[in-house]
Structure 1
Amino acid sequence: MAQDLTPEDIEKLFTRSDGSYLCARWGRPLSPIVFGVEETTLQVIKGAFEAVCVLAGHQMAETDPELGANVMVFFCRDWAELLDVPDLGRMIDGLETMVDRLEAANANQYRVFRFEADGGIKACFVFLRMDAELAKLPAETLALGQVVQSILLWSDTAFADRSALAQVGGGQVILRPDIADVIRAAYDPVLPVAATEPAHALRLAARIAAGR
């Protein structure tokens, strides 16, 4: 049986590398769109969004009335391909600089968030460069991992040492139960859509305990 996360563990999930605490959730329904994959993979990604939204008690919608789509997932083979995506430069400030930085770091994934006036998540752009490491992952595993990292604003170091996913019998990959608990708690209506005080982690821990 997985050990429960302590309040200190939860605080670390939202404490960024610069020492600041920030946890934010979506306030509007998610309307995802995916570029650069075949229909079968598209359905897998959509299924992952649906499953995580059900877990969080959050909604999905066909379209966002303001943005059309508010979650955009881009698959590419090379970061430079992003420079040729129509209108992406209007949506992502400093796109060329971002691409240069990702190339220099040999990164294979990156996420950009946009926020509402109240601090809640307004939009998320997910960029995946399908290198050998990502290509060897089953589509279901890759999709679930990306959706989990998009449903909340986690720390930039949250899953550096341990994945949000876990392998169970038969090689099946699932969301770690303790991370699932954090997602459910963060979407509890009694909690704010965004928080910058570490004491928020204590409230998350309390909601998790109350839900048992």
Structure 2
Amino acid sequence: MAIEAEEVAAKFTRGDGSYLCARWGRPIVPVVFGVDEATLGVFKSAIEAVVVMAGHKMAETDWELGANLMVFFCRDWAELPEVPHLDQMVPDLVPLVARLQAAEANQYRVFRFDEVGAIKACFVFLRMDAHLEAVSADTLALSQAVQTIVLWSDRAFMDASPLALLDGVAVIRPEVAAIVRAVYDPVMPAVAQDASHALRIAARAGKMQ
């Protein structure tokens, strides 16, 4: 099935109209805080599955940060400033917490980039409200893995989830998976800020479904 360039562009065009797509420039090293061992295993398995799908790599440790994909679970946003050294890794953490509280948000992702603009770290914050508690660990883990493997637009999944149900099991939508694999094609740039990039992604993604 063909994927239109407009569909790709919409996934990477931000609220201010700018186009930005970036992939990880280093192997991913995940760590999850605030969950039991079973949920930890679910999250790491989901991240590994998405990394393999993308054709990227994982590692035991990151040379600069130790872990570079950090997932934090909390019951209240006010817990975040109490996490040791988190304010050093996430600038303006206190104002961020205030904005999340005011918006009654239940999830937020912060990306950091290397000197060329590729992703070098991502911090995922999940506040377990009634909505997220109603979501299975497998679905939540897969959703977050997909949304951290690439720098999507802040509007990319406002109208439709990156996941679909297949026989009651959450799976990545074929068109989303194809876009991710195309973004990680070795001939594609690690970061792109020109919308013509969407044409190249669409051409590759159409062949990868």
- When normalised by structure 1's length, the TM-score is 0.97
1:103-182 equivalence runs, <5 A: 103-169=101-167, 171-182=168-179
Distance 1:46 1:67 in 2: 18
Distance 2:181 2:74 in 1: 32
Distance 2:63 2:199 in 1: 35
Q: Structure 1: any 5+ residue segments left out of the alignment?
A: none
SS of alignment partner, residue 197 of structure 1: coil
- Which of 176, 184, 189 aligns to 2:186? It is 189
Q: Which amino acid aligns with 2:169?
A: Q
Match of 1:35 in 2: 33
Q: CA deviation at 1:105?
A: 0.1
- Which digits, 9 at most, give the CA deviation of each residue in 1:87-129, with x for residues without a partner? 0011111000000000000000000000011110010000000
Q: Which amino acid aligns with 1:202?
A: L
Does residue 7 in structure 1 map to residue 5 in structure 2?
A: yes
- Alpha-carbon RMSD across the aligned residues, in angstroms, is 0.9
Match of 1:58 in 2: 56
Q: CA deviation at 1:209?
A: 3.2
Number of residue pairs the alignment of both structures matches: 209
Q: Structure 2: any 5+ residue segments left out of the alignment?
A: none
1:70-81 equivalence runs, <5 A: 70-81=68-79
SS of alignment partner, residue 57 of structure 2: coil
Q: CA deviation at 1:4?
A: 4.1
Does residue 24 in structure 1 map to residue 12 in structure 2?
A: no
Percent identity over paired residues: 60
Q: Which amino acid aligns with 1:190?
A: V
- Which digits, 9 at most, give the CA deviation of each residue in 1:138-157, with x for residues without a partner? 10000000010000000000
Match of 2:82 in 1: 84
Q: Which amino acid aligns with 1:139?
A: A
Does residue 204 in structure 1 map to residue 201 in structure 2?
A: yes
Distance 2:59 2:140 in 1: 22
Distance 1:14 1:205 in 2: 12
Which segments of structure 1 move beyond 6 Å, counting only runs of 4 or more?
none
